[in-house]
Amino acid sequence: MTQFSGDAVAVTGGGSGIGRQTGLEFANRGVDVVVADVDREGGEETVELIENESDAEATFVEVDVTESDQVEEMVSTAVEEYGSLDYAVNNAGIGGQQELTADLPEENWQRVIDINLTGVWQCLRHEIRQMNEQDDGGAIVNMASILGKVGFETASAYTAAKHGVLGLTKTAALEYGTEGVRINAVCPGFVETPMLEEAGMLSDETIREEIERRHGLERLGTPAEIADAVLWLCSDDATFTSGEALAIDGGYLAR
């Protein structure tokens, strides 16, 4: 089983979908979890799940990743509660628009960029500052997407933000590797979560089948399949992996 020498992880967007599953899987391996989310109800539900299903501890912090002081509080909570911040998963994100590029209202563009790109930078900078102070450094995973590697019609802000997350990941990995901080990204294919439900991609059978067909495996992924990759990148099995954009996509990019 994947081994972890660190004690604590912070997961943004931990109140739902991939983030919730990632928090649960860290907890199942004995890592304490700071669940950070703008949605208090979802975040507190994840904490309850972790406490019921594992021996690890969990704390909820209400965080909007676009707000520097709230992100700082997430990091200081990990240190105060668990003594360090060994791992961080910058996963919070929104789906955003479904309009063609020229029809996209400016505020929609800005909101997606603010949360999905600037939010990751906000998290990174506070997490790196903390990890740089620790003897053992740390490991960070940013949640990108296959849409960080290829385009997708009617998702220009989302694809721009996710391409940006990969650039940010690679640059930060180069800057902080020698200080013991490994930084990687995961690029999931389409995964069955509330995000896809809200975008109407699960309930409409025709849209669902079209999306499934774009994957070599002709199905959607599960949050657990993405969480497994996040855990591996953070673990003691991946100590020579940094600056990687790991696609977990059921063959989407092979097409």
Catalytic residues: 158
Site for ligand NAD in 103-162 (CB under 6 A): 115, 119, 143, 145
User: Would you count residue 96 as binding ligand NAD (CB under 6 A)?
Assistant: no
Q: In the range 21-60, which residues lie near ligand NAD by CB under 6 A?
A: 37-39, 42
Using the rule CB under 6 A, is 65 a contact of ligand NAD?
A: yes
Q: Which is nearer to ligand NAD, 177 or 207 (CB)?
A: 207
Contact 36, 87 (CB under 8 A): no
- Please state the closest distance from residue 180 (CB atom) to ligand NAD, in A: 26
Cα torsion angle, 52, 53, 59, 64, sign: negative
- Out of 8, 9, 10, 18, the residue judged to bind ligand NAD by CB under 6 A: 18
What is the number of residues in the chain? Answer: 255
Residue from 9, 27, 31, 63 in contact with ligand NAD (CB under 6 A)? 63
Residues 158-197 interacting with ligand NAD (rule: CB under 6 A): 188, 190-191, 193-196
Q: How far apart are CA 188 and CA 203, in angstroms?
A: 20
How many residues line the site for ligand NAD (CB under 6 A)? Answer: 30
* CA separation for the pair 188, 222 (Å, rounded): 10
Rounded CA separation 45/237 (Å): 30
Strands 32-37 and 58-62: parallel
Cα 227 to Cα 89, 156, 178, 224, 232: the distances in Å are: 10, 26, 26, 5, 9
Name the residue with tokens 């102070």.
Answer: 133
* Phi, psi of 214, rounded to the nearest 5 degrees: -70, -15
Our finding on whether 72 is near ligand NAD (CB under 6 A) is: no
> Closest distance between ligand NAD and the C-beta of residue 116, in Å?
6
Site for ligand NAD (CB under 6 A): which residue of 9, 10, 12, 22? 12
Residues that bind ligand NAD (CB under 6 A): 12-13, 15-19, 37-39, 42, 63-66, 91-94, 115, 119, 143, 145, 188, 190-191, 193-196
